[in-house]
Structure 1
Amino acid sequence: MRSGVSAMARLTRGRWTGGMTRIQLVTGGTGTTGSRIVQRLQARGEQVRVASRSSECVLDWADPATWDPALRGVTGVYLAYAPDLAVPGADATVAAFTRRAAAAGVQRVVLLSGRGEPGAQRAEQAVQQVARGTGLACTVLRCSWFAQNFSEGQFAEAVAAGELALPVGDVVEPFLDADDIADAAVLALLDDGHAGRTYELTGPRALSFADVVREISAARGRPVVFRSVPLAAFRAELAGHGVPDDVLDLLAHLFTEVLDGRNSRPTDGVQQVLGRPAGELADHVRRAATAGCWT
């Protein structure tokens, strides 16, 4: 457990204990989930520190010297590890970062994780072990694939061009709206009652990639084709565009193991956290089309 000095610091730091300012650190704060969390925290009047390799507050997972400056004075952390918790060594890195966070006086950590990834679950366990040993409140958001992958992520350019070719067949996935992740993360950072919890967050319907592309076609009023391709051809295409081998290996893992049907079942995790149903993918693609994401 923490020392008496650290315990006193927890009682005297933060708006909920005495009116003093608290700082929320959002790692990956310019990304899909992080940017949404930043917006929501700022709308609630929170002081937010955005950290990434390219932000004003630099945080590089490969450079521990950047960690302590990012954590200085922070009371809550949204922990989004890049490129993915499934990569070798991610569990050791996030555990080391969590120990630094506890030593810096951080009180709450919300970890972004993925469904059905043994590597991600090892990272969850590593962070939770540190939290138990230091008195840090920890919440895990174990998420399915993002609906935003099609509108602002790695698939958006291909969708806009009219054809999405991926090494996946008829397997279904309950695609999750990143807005739901952001809402859940903000509650876990600011409200009591989420410490020690793991929430498995999904969308309400299990859809194939072809199903999603059909919904996008209907929403944008222009045809988009989905084509299933062999993994070897997919890798060769990306390698020809200069994608490095470690990224190719990660993608192969995601498409062959994570998308093998193990995660096809929707959950009520969003309802558990937010008290409302998860957002529909159809609603997201309509909003994306209206916003001009694929023009």
Structure 2
Amino acid sequence: MTQNTGSAQGSTVVVTGASGRTGSRVAEAARAAGMTVRAASRTQGFDWRDRSTWAQVLRGADAAYLVYPSDVGAPEAAEAVGHLAREAVRQEVRRLVLLSARGEEQALPTEEALRGSGADWTVVRAAWFAQNFSEGPLVAELREYGELVFPGGAVREPFVDVRDIADVVVAALTDGDRYAGQVLEVSGPRLLTFGEAVAEIAAVTGRELSYRAVPAPRYGERLAGFGVPREEADYLVDLFGSLLDGRNAHLSDGVRQVLGREPRDFGDFVREAAGAGVWKG
């Protein structure tokens, strides 16, 4: 049975990954919608790898946003999300929204684990984040070295602004009747190669920035050289080797479908981030 969550005012949402790219924006959007946000993090006593910490975070909440750490393999993620979702149902937190990746076959078992939990679930499958260029390891390469080395080749991606993801997630969290049992795919409004994306950043910042494509295994060696743990580097190599093969070179209409507007353009994101000095050398 689908639960009608009604108005967001006064409801409590558990947000996993609340300090991450999407979680922080989901928390912000949820507060703006009148929800009380309960951050699920280690500093708040929550640990994905310790099931004994889950009940206390979920107890008394109305909904939850689930994003599992990306450095963990698919079997572990599926098992953890499935167990957490069933614990949420036991705690009468039936409204669950999971962030997934568009075109990522490794994420499908995690989605299936959520579906089998008995929760009123929604899956939000997102394209590559625009904010990956402004937050995390990629920004350091552009800012410090003026070059992005990445295994994206000439593949085109519809880079999506994480604020659009957050707005879609909050809509799914607060409207159980409309979005329960659905998979929502979200992307930006146009396709760009990684090289074209870097060129747009260069044009706005006035810096000489370049993109150099490398094979996925070579990128794994580079990550290891930067101190990334071997297990995490191997996971990313496998992921990029399959995900960046052109399967995502198309647009999705999830933002328009849910929010009734066009998604934010990559150029708008670049101008805002450049104005904040993100890529200033």
- Conserved 8 A contact 2:13-2:36: yes
Which string of whole-angstrom CA distances, capped at 9 and with x for unpartnered residues, describes residues 145-174 of structure 1? 100000112311111121111123111111
- Conserved 8 A contact 1:85-1:113: no
1:52 aligns with 2:52: no
1:62 aligns with 2:60: no
Matched position secondary structure for 2:137: coil
1:112 aligns with 2:95: no
Matched position secondary structure for 1:88: helix
Q: How far apart in 2 are the matches of 1:33 and 1:123?
A: 18
Q: Which piece of structure 1 moves more, 244-253 or 100-109?
A: 244-253
Q: Which piece of structure 1 moves more, 77-86 or 206-215?
A: 77-86
Candidates 151, 168, 171, aligned match of 2:152: 168
Q: How far apart in 1 are the matches of 2:182 and 2:220?
A: 37
Structure 2 unaligned regions, length at least 5 = none
Q: How far apart in 2 are the matches of 1:244 and 1:214?
A: 31
In the other structure, the counterpart of 1:210 is 195
- Conserved 8 A contact 2:150-2:213: yes
In the other structure, the counterpart of 1:4 is none
Candidates 255, 260, 281, aligned match of 2:245: 260
- Conserved 8 A contact 2:219-2:237: no
1:184 aligns with 2:172: no
In the other structure, the counterpart of 2:123 is 140
Q: 2:49 is aligned with what amino acid?
A: A
**Structure index of larger Rg:** 1
Q: How far apart in 2 are the matches of 1:219 and 1:280?
A: 14
Which string of whole-angstrom CA distances, capped at 9 and with x for unpartnered residues, describes residues 1-43 of structure 1? 8xxxxx9xx79xx7759x8x42110000111111111112222
Candidates 209, 220, 223, aligned match of 1:238: 223
Aligned residues: 278
- Conserved 8 A contact 2:204-2:270: yes
Q: Could you say which structure has the greater relative contact order, defined with CA pairs below 8 angstroms and 6 or more residues apart?
A: 2
1:35 aligns with 2:35: no
Matched position secondary structure for 1:223: coil
In the other structure, the counterpart of 1:92 is 79
TM-score by length of 2: 0.93
Matched position secondary structure for 1:24: strand
Q: Residues 107 and 88 (structure 1 numbering): CA distance in 2 closer, same or farther, change over 3 Å? A: closer
**Identity %, equivalent residues:** 44
Q: How far apart in 2 are the matches of 1:174 and 1:230?
A: 21
Q: How far apart in 2 are the matches of 1:278 and 1:52?
A: 29
Q: How far apart in 2 are the matches of 1:294 and 1:107?
A: 42
CA-atom RMSD in angstroms: 2.1
Q: Residues 273 and 38 (structure 1 numbering): CA distance in 2 closer, same or farther, change over 3 Å? A: same
* Deviation, structure 1 residue 259: 0.6
Structure 1 unaligned regions, length at least 5 = 2-6
Q: How far apart in 2 are the matches of 1:240 and 1:85?
A: 20
1:283 aligns with 2:272: no
Q: 1:99 is aligned with what amino acid?
A: R
Q: 2:21 is aligned with what amino acid?
A: T
Q: How far apart in 2 are the matches of 1:86 and 1:198?
A: 22
In the other structure, the counterpart of 2:233 is 248
- Conserved 8 A contact 1:86-1:117: no
- Conserved 8 A contact 2:200-2:270: yes
Q: How far apart in 1 are the matches of 2:192 and 2:45?
A: 38
